[in-house]
Amino acid sequence: MQPMPHQLMGYDRAITMFSPDGRLLQVEYAKKTVRQGSTAIGIVCNDGVVLITDKRIIEKLIVADSVEKIFEIDTHIAAAAAGIISDARVLLERSQLKAQQHKVTYDTDIDTLSIVKDICALKQMCTQSGGLRPFGVSILVAGVDNQGPRLFETDPTGIYFEFKATVIGEGEPEVEEMLNEEYKENMNIEDGLKLGIKALMKTIGKDFNVKRIDAAYITSKERQFVSVNKEKLDRIYKEMKNKK
């Protein structure tokens, strides 16, 4: 007699129930949701940190500028998400509030890791409390603090890791391979933007369009969030296209 799948035995019906082989199936489903989300890339450069995302705008009647995939948490911290963006918005609005409370209380900018830990604490709580579901989103948090430019990835379990360059979303396998091959620690923000756009050109293919790309960076010197305008993205895209 064939053993019954864990789904049929009900181990995926409650977030607090472990399967016999030690898995939380609801959390694994949340991770699958992230892998279906649009691609987001983070790259640490020698003069700052870069975030590049695919807004995945397929419907031509949508106003492209109304789709937000990169969020400013504070002037020196930004985030990008893949998965259920409404989940990300709740987490990041909480982070914006925490950053402002820290500034009012201590008269100094909050460090990047404190924001990451706060996000992950709430994510983790939702993996062990009955009646809740996990946040179906992974978030890249990029910032510049007293330790320089930093990039963290958080997943639905509440785990976080610091990276030099990383990717989340549907294009993860292809982009991760490219980052491993082409990332260099001495690259500047311009180089980071070029690498990110090149990676998205590869994953999106013939449907690539600058209008569906969102990018931002924070420089180490000014510690200021800067959204990259479409003219600059278009110039970099044409340069990358001409190199082919």
The pLDDT profile of the chain, 244 residues, written as one tens digit per residue, is: 455 566 556 777 777 888 888 888 899 999 999 999 999 999 999 999 999 999 988 788 888 788 889 999 999 999 999 999 999 999 999 999 999 999 999 999 999 999 999 999 999 999 988 888 999 999 999 999 999 999 999 999 999 999 999 999 999 999 999 999 999 999 999 999 999 999 999 999 888 888 899 999 999 999 999 999 999 999 998 887 777 6
Q: Which domain holds residue 136?
A: 36-55+70-243
pTM (two decimals)? 0.93
Q: Does residue 163 form part of some domain?
A: yes
Q: What is the CA radius of gyration of the chain?
A: 19
Cβ pair 65, 196 in contact under 8 A: no
Q: Does residue 28 form part of some domain?
A: no
Amino acid at 57: I
Q: Dig out the tokens for 15 from the structure.
A: 């977030």
Query: Sign of the C-alpha dihedral, residues 137, 233, 196, 212?
Result: positive
Q: Does residue 174 form part of some domain?
A: yes
CATH of the domain at 150: 3.60.20.10
Angstrom distance (rounded) from CA 240 to CA 98: 39
Tell me how many domains the chain contains. Answer: 1
Q: Dig out the tokens for 136 from the structure.
A: 């179906």
